[in-house]
Structure 1
Amino acid sequence: MSFLRFLWVTVVCLIAPSVVFANSIESGEALLRVADNSIKIYRNNKPILHVTKIAFNYKTVNNWVITKRDDKYLQLSASMPAAVDFHRSAEDNAPHPLTITITASENGFHFFADEKWATQVTLEFHYLGDHFFGLSEPLQPDNQLSPDLTGGMITIDTVSHANALRENYASAFSAFYMSSFGYGAFFDTFARGRYDFAINGKNKIHHETGTLDWHIFIGGDGREIHKAYFDLIGSPKKIPLWALGPVGWRDANSGGAAEIIDDLQKMTDRKIPFTGWFVDRPYSDGAHEWSKMNFNKKFANPEEWTKTIIDDFGIEFMTWVSPATFGDNIFEKQFEGRYSYIDLSHQPSVKAYQNVLTNNQYQLGIKGHKIDRLDERLPEYELWHDNTPIFERRNKYAYLSAKIHDQGLREHFGDDQFTFARTAFHRTQPYLSAIWGGDPRSTWEGMQANFANAMRSSFMGFPIWGTDVGGYLGEGFIPEDLYLRWMQAGSMTGLFEIKFDGSGGEGRDRMPWRYSEDFQKKLRAVCEDRMQLLPYLYSLANTSHHNGVLMQPMAYRHLSDKNTWQLWDQFYLGDALLVAPVFNETLRRSVYLPIGEWRDFDDPSMLYKGGKRIEIEAPPEKLPRFVKRNSLFVSGHTRTGNTQLWKNHAENLVLHAWPGKGRAETAFEYIDRQDGNKKKVFQLKSFKKQISLTGPSLTVSAVIEVLLDKKPKSVNLNGNKIEYEFDSVSKVLTTTPIKGKPIDISIQY
């Protein structure tokens, strides 16, 4: 090699690192690099995203130049031809300057450009082999049950005529998706969009807005990714305890208020627990038996019968609502059309609507709403008071609806209120308590599709989801086996609401007393089981900001495990439990257990090795659930709902622990409702032949149950050796902590 050649190679090697550094910014374990008119993001030195094209108004941005830079910031500048501005004349050839900023945060990157002349943004990427989840509660593409969107084209728009071609009329959407490579992507806009994944070797994002506002969140699983997402959009809405118990309703209360009271009395006589109930439309005067938003003659004297429900039965009451008046012009600013939607961007009309609900409902103690009809006939092309662009209106309307209903309720009840809607879009999470999954058919196939909807809602970051237990579309009376399996599956969702008739009240209703005594017994057992899990669910629901959604799909927890990508019929409920409901008429169930050890929730003596599929028996009364090793959770009795009428004992708590092997630890965040909703962290640690369980004092009586591999040599509580019980069959050690004292248990083998 000549001296000049040697010198050239030496200089290149010396300056290369600084060249790379000048084109790069870092976020934790991720690196973003700009080169050759493309952008690559690496996670742990592996490429996870390769942006090959950014276009405005379908014209590609070329010849990017880095004009500003520091350790966490890049500014890219380019020049766009005048032709991208559809409002300019062809003679005006002056180029448009364009600026794109990329900012690194603690857990990802933010791309931003806001050019007023642009109306469309398109991003294209090389497909790198990962898999994708989220975006759409409807079963796009092709009505498939699998949550894996790879190979699909997904539309983001809350429009019912599109949903009608799919299963269940589900209509929650979000411009948020997760990748199996360990990142989440969020395009922060209400503008409708389309996403293509792995089509001809490319991915593509397109939104009908000129603002590029795109976030990449880096994380090892869905919980970490969603924490970064919630840090941006706001923490999910707080959930009251009563909204997490069994909630009942009929599609049509033809018998009025008397029928509701009679239903509740019969439930109470049979000791079937409920904590909430709601009335669906019709119950008001005016157009569509709703527009007056009052209670009609069938529901006369609401101050009396609502007081009976709330005070005598201990059940909180909710109502169906919609920001539409169906032809009645009541408010100052309404849109023309069959549904006469209120313009939710017009504050005087919003305030007037909230005042009507206050005077007719909130003053009666009504603490929640089922919000409906947001996605059906919204006139896109009528002018909004705030001039919201046309292509943002459908999605933004769902957001505004969630916000204004939450505001109205919050003014009277603070956090002690609950809202759920069929139609939702991203950024509703701080204002909307839950999604109900549309109108499923009352069939096995309807139930299957509805729980596939649930998994997609979870990937999008909606923490609480619920099914119409028993289905909506079809006759009221359904077979006992279908009803029971739907009850079991529904009892493991965030919103456990049970529908007691078919659409429009067709056919015989499905109140428990229409069925056999054996079925009533099993239904009661499901509802009682749900009540026992309320302390766990309450804690999960009110820590979802950093612990993730309640129903966590398998791929949500195991993004890199290809065995989880297609799974829609099993899920984690919090960190400790894996739930695998039965979705057909068989009495067996195949379950995929991730790597590790698992025990049967109902029979801890049954131990399973994970990392494979297992086949289990599932008789009618069996809801397959599993507890993972190295886990901690709570259950117990809470004094809420109508159970107060037959259960006189005080509240209690059971703290369940299954230590890990070797050196292991885990924790559970318990939200103590009886102690001002304080967050109390319990920790479980294992090391060699010692196990420790520690935590703060509790305000209720408690029992501690620890799953062990064998009987221990000794157990100490707060430094003192204590007596304990150990069941050699179930392998459960039981002891009682001192009420009002911190918990510090040490177990020696």
Structure 2
Amino acid sequence: MWLVAEDKHVEYAQEVFSIDQSQDGKKLSLLCPTSKQYRRGNSLNQPTLTIDIEAVADGIISVEATHWKGAARKLPNFELFPDGPPSVDASIKNGDAGTTISSGPIAATVSSNPHTFDIRFHSTDNSRKLTSLLDRSVAFAYSPPPGSMMQTGDARDFQHYILTQTTLGVGEQIYGLGERFGALNKVGQSVVLWNADGGTSSDQAYKNVSFWLSNKGYGIFIDTPQRVELEIGSERSCRVQTSIEGQRLKWYIIYGPTPKDVLSRYTTLTGKPNSLPAWSFGLWLTTSFTTEYDENTINGFLEGMRNRDIPLAVFHYDAFWMRPFHWCDFEFMASHFPDPKAQIKRLKESGLVSKISVWINTYIGQASPVFQEAADKGYLLKRKNGDVFQWDLWQAGMGIVDFTNPDACQWFRSKLDALFDIGVDTIKTDFGERIPTKDVQWFDKNVDAERMHNYYAFIYNKLVYEALQDRCGKDEAVVFARAACAGTQRFPLQWGGDCESTFEAMAESLRGGLSLGLCGYSFWSVDIGGFEGYPDPTLYKRWVQFGLLCSHSRLHGSSSYRVPWLIDDDDKTSQGCTAVLQKFAQLKCRLMPYLYSESLEAVKNGWPLSVRAMSLEFPEDRTAWYCDQQFMLGSKILVAPVFDESGEVEFYLPSGRWSSFWDASQTIDGPKWVKEKHNFETLPLHIRQGTILVVGKEGEKRTNYDWTKPENHEVRMYEPDGESSFPLCDPEGKLVAILRTTEDHGAWRVENIEVRVR
């Protein structure tokens, strides 16, 4: 609190000297000297900080702290309010407590006490205190400390930082910040928002999202794609410190009051996820990464899955569909795939699979002629001396596609179009994290290299997603993306990256998915069985159960295949890998009426479909905020994966009566911690009290079918009441009927009370 690092010099805003109010009543500008202004002479040779507070949308206020206003505003910037800025009910009032600016239900009050620095954020009706900026909470810093301010005339010798410290209340917990694999509650952690290809077992992350959610009913979005460092109760235990290198720092405080409300407003600011087609919810099978495969291998896998009655939706060609050292040149390896268009056509016509996916990235090895083509046309990132930026990381002599060049974007899209022409339906957009920042020059000279590092994931995935939309249709596009930053939730879906084949990594992956979902990502997947290593049958089957209850499900590994009969020597018993995969793949098909309805609600509001943190559904339950080994599948189904070889599992049921999906007569009243032991045919799967659940008929093997027809579904009731309802939507997203419960002579029954023309 008192001891500043030896290599830093910090200047804090000490008081609010003056307040300027905008004429439209939407903005305050605070002049904040770094010393108390007791007399006129105190204003000389003294830095100031300017703090702008603005009402930008109902429930959202922006705060921008600036040292030197003349610093250039560098690009790129996040695309905010992509659907257009909403209206705002803003006002500024002066009272005894100070000056208050309100933006719908949220307000900020600047204290009127002389020689103080005190800004409080609260609900407009003053019923809830959110957070605050108090003494020594907004500052800039130099490193190294200048001996004299004359030295800062040559700023090249110094790093300049700006920071804010919002108060962290008693019992307050912080969540989100992207797909993070450590403890779900971030209090006590130092977090760096900087995309890195680090796997799932460290504090590095592929998906750094500059948004965090508090259990106190608000969230904060940090409006910069550059490197952000956060000390979350870890430097000062009662504050969250946010710091960046630069002259200004802007963030938005977003009010709920519920966590669902916060996410809805946050995704209005940064963009809602798009909906996904029903076929994408089915099981995806890949070749795995470094395994040897060709057309015969693929046929063998697909025929093996069909013969074992395991429904597949997508087959994915991973990296080695291209020649070694040539990635990514978009050319099938002729020795293994002499006629890929004909092969893909045969696969689809045979009914073995309906959709095809291929792996790409934006790195191009110099062995490929495509590298020279891109280099000659100026489509690759360059060094400051004009050379193409190259290194031997990943592919020998690889270059990186420069998406700030519009011609490079069109060229890249032409390569994608060629894939679509041969029958490819969806793209796995791998990598995008290893974007250099030193000695690089982007085509767009207004772009700052530091800001491009994280932001590259946005422009990469946006380009591919929009290419798919143009070819397949707005709601038929699907990417399978690894890297992300704020806003990429608009281009679903994302998967968890390279996890190990262990129970610990399975739990790490779940924590990552929960954290990402708390940043407005509706859809998420994971490599079933783990990516690195060789899963034993027990782990594989437990991961199958977990993975088939995520929004999207993919079998994928690194150096070993993931078809079930190779995991356990084709055990044909009911406890074998094949039987377990068959059961849970078919279970997902049966759940599609529920899943698809819930997915439409999720994208409308910016909520996760699965995995959904318990706190979103039960925000008033303190225990729910701590649950990181279970999740909600939509709003009605609770899932508790088994993370132990013994089959034992302990999970928490919030208040209410919960019914087992496997046997509705088995009910448990919460709140309660429950211990159970499960064989491989089941896991804890419990339905919330008051639920009407529409599921497909027993034995359903499709995810894209007309489940609205009575002959294709069954209706279940779980402890219904007079408010139970279910919106039945068809696979195109149209509302067909609303099912509600009515009481009939002491018994409940379901009836259609509304039907719309399809």
Q: TM-score range by the shorter chain?
A: 0.7 to 0.9
What is the SS of the residue equivalent to 2:441?
coil
Deviation at 1:293, TM superposition (A): 3.6
Question: Is it true that 1:492 corresponds to 2:531 in the alignment?
Answer: no
CA RMSD of aligned residues (A): 3.4
Aligned-pair CA distance for 1:681: 6.5
Any idea what the Cα deviations from partners look like across 1:18-70, whole Å, max 9, x if unmatched?
A: 514861133454432111422111245232201125646438xxxxxxxxxxx
Q: CA deviation at 1:118?
A: 11
Structure 1 vs Structure 2: percent identity of aligned residues?
A: 22
- Local SS of the residue matching 2:95: helix
Match of 1:504 in 2: 559
Q: Does the Cα contact within 8 Å between 2:267 and 2:606 map onto a contact in 1?
A: no
Find the aligned partners of 2:747 and 2:698 in 1 and give their Cα distance.
34
Superposition deviation, residue 297 in structure 1: 2.5
2 CA distance for matches of 1:638 and 1:435? 30
CA pair 509-669 structure 1, distance change in 2 beyond 3 A: closer
1:462 equivalent in structure 2: 521
In structure 2, what is the equivalent of residue 9 of structure 1? none
Q: How far apart are the structure 2 equivalents of 1:189 and 1:39?
A: 22
- Correspondence for 1:8: none
- Would you say the 8 A contact 2:533–2:559 is kept in 1? no
Structure 2 gap ranges (5+):
1-92, 382-388, 392-397
Structure 1 residues 445-594: aligned runs within 5 Å: 445-475=504-534, 478-499=535-556, 502-505=557-560, 511=566, 514-518=569-573, 519=576, 520-544=578-602, 545-546=604-605, 548-550=607-609, 551-594=611-654
Paired residue for 2:195, among 146, 158, 163?
158
Amino acid in structure 1 at the alignment position of 2:122: Y
Equivalent position of 2:167 in the other structure: 126
- Is 1:24 the counterpart of 2:74? The answer is no
How many angstroms does 1:507 deviate by? Answer: 11
* C-alpha distance in 2 between matches for 1:717 and 1:682: 8
Q: Following the alignment from structure 2 to structure 1, what is the Cα–Cα distance between the partners of residues 680 and 167? A: 48
Aligned position for 2:128: 46
Give SS of 2:363's match.
coil
Contact 1:54/1:121 (CA < 8 Å) preserved in 2? no
**Structure-2 residue corresponding to 1:330:** 373
What stretches of structure 1 of length at least 5 have no aligned partner?
A: 1-16, 60-80, 91-116, 692-710, 720-736, 744-749
> What's the counterpart of residue 269 of structure 1?
307
Quick check: 30-39 or 503-512, which moved more? 503-512
Structure 2 counterpart of 1:263, one-letter code: F
Decide whether the 8 Å contact of 2:121 with 2:129 is kept in 1. Answer: yes
Q: Does 1:435 align with 2:494?
A: yes
Cα distance per residue 1:646-674 (max 9 Å; x no partner): x9x9972334443555xx6254444322x
CA distance in structure 2 between the aligned counterparts of 1:594 and 1:716, rounded to whole angstroms: 26
Give the Cα–Cα distance (whole angstroms) in 2 for the partners of residues 270 and 668 of structure 1: 34
1:280 Cα deviation from its structure 2 partner? 0.3
- Letter of the 1:466 counterpart: S
Q: Is the 8 A contact 1:245 1:534 kept in 2?
A: no
Which residue of the partner structure matches residue 222 of structure 1?
A: 259
Residue in 2 that maps onto 1:58: 141
SS, match of residue 272 in structure 1: coil
d(CA) in 2 for partners of 1:547, 1:307: 37
- 384-393 vs 404-413, which moves further: 384-393
CA deviations on 1:192-211 (whole Å, 9 max, x unpaired) are: 10111223332211233544
Would the aligned equivalents of 1:253 and 1:279 in 2 still touch at CA under 8 Å? no
Residues 630 and 658 in structure 1, CA contact (< 8 A), matched pair in contact too: yes
Q: Deviations over 1:99-155 (max 9, x none)?
A: xxxxxxxxxxxxxxxxxx99744111222121100114233xxxx3x3001111111
Shift of 1:279: 0.7
**Residue 187 of structure 1: aligned partner:** 222
Give the secondary-structure state (helix, strand or coil) at the position aligned to 1:153.
strand
Q: CA deviation at 1:437?
A: 0.8
Counting only pairs closer than 5 Å after superposition, residues 245-260 of structure 1 correspond to structure 2 as 245-251=282-288, 252=290, 254-260=292-298
- Alpha-carbon shift at residue 183 of structure 1 (Å): 0.9
Residue 230 of structure 1 aligns to a residue in which SS? helix
SS at match of 1:548: coil
Confirm or deny: 8 A CA contact 1:168 1:439 kept in the other structure: no
What residue in structure 2 maps to residue 423 of structure 1?
483
**Is the contact made by 1:25 and 1:33 (CA closer than 8 Å) also made in structure 2?**
yes
Letter in 1 for 2:470: E
Could you tell me which residue of structure 2 aligns to residue 373 of structure 1? 431
User: What is the match of residue 329 of structure 2?
Assistant: 291
Residue-by-residue CA offset, 1:589-623 (whole Å, 9 max, x unaligned)? 21111111111111111111111212223222112
TM-score by structure 2 length?
0.75
Could you list the per-position Cα deviations for residues 376-406 of structure 1 after superposition, in whole angstroms to 9, with x for gaps in the alignment? 3545541112232122121111111111111
- Structure 1 residues 682 and 379, CA gap change in structure 2 (3 angstroms): same
Change (3 A) 1:619 1:120: same
The DSSP-based 3-state class of the residue aligned with 2:527 is strand
2:417 maps to amino acid: T
CA contact (8 A) 2:175 2:515 kept: yes
- Once the two structures are superposed, the pairs formed by residues 643-658 of structure 1 within 5 Å of their partners are 652-658=712-718
| Structure 2 match to 1:280 | 318
Match of 1:58, as an amino acid? A
Find the counterpart in structure 2 of residue 697 from structure 1.
none
- CA distance 1:617–1:642, shift in 2 (3 Å): closer
Q: Quote the Cα distance in structure 2 between the aligned partners of 1:166 and 1:204.
A: 25
After alignment, is 341-350 or 651-660 more displaced? 651-660
Tell me the CA shift for residue 683 of structure 1.
5.6
> How far apart in 2 are the matches of 1:358 and 1:241?
23
SS at match of 1:598: strand
Query: Using the alignment, how far apart are the partners of 2:699 and 2:122 within structure 1?
Result: 51
Does the CA contact (< 8 Å) of 1:571 and 1:580 recur in 2?
Answer: yes
One-letter amino acid matched to 2:209:
S
3-state DSSP of counterpart to 1:611: strand
Q: Which residue of 2 aligns with 1:110?
A: none
Once the two structures are superposed, the pairs formed by residues 557-636 of structure 1 within 5 Å of their partners are 557-636=617-696
Q: Secondary structure at the match of 1:174?
A: coil
Write the distance in 2 (CA, Å) between the matches of 1:278 and 1:655: 34
Relative distance call for 1:640 and 1:591 in structure 2 (3 A) is closer
Q: 1:576 to 1:260 in 2, by over 3 A?
A: same
Distance 1:242 1:587 in 2: 32
3-state secondary structure, aligned to 2:421: helix
Aligned to 2:340: 302
d(CA) in 1 for partners of 2:649 and 2:517? 23
Counterpart position of 1:67: none
Measured in 1, the distance between the counterparts of 2:724 and 2:328 equals 50
Distance 2:672 2:750 in 1: 38
Contact 2:195–2:204 (Cα < 8 Å) also in 1: no
The match for 1:242 among 270, 273, 279 is 279
- Aligned-residue offset at 1:170: 4.8
Partner of 1:682: 738
Asked if the contact 2:286/2:316 (under 8 Å) is kept, the reply is yes
Residue 12 of structure 1 corresponds to none
Partners of 1:667 and 1:681 within 8 A in 2: no
Displacement of 1:310 after TM fit?
2.4
Residue pair 1:309, 1:316 contacting (<8 A) in 2 also:
no
Distance 1:292 1:29 in 2: 51
The TM-score with structure 1 as length reference comes to: 0.76
One-letter amino acid of the counterpart of residue 557, structure 1: E
User: 1:125 aligns to what SS in structure 2?
Assistant: strand
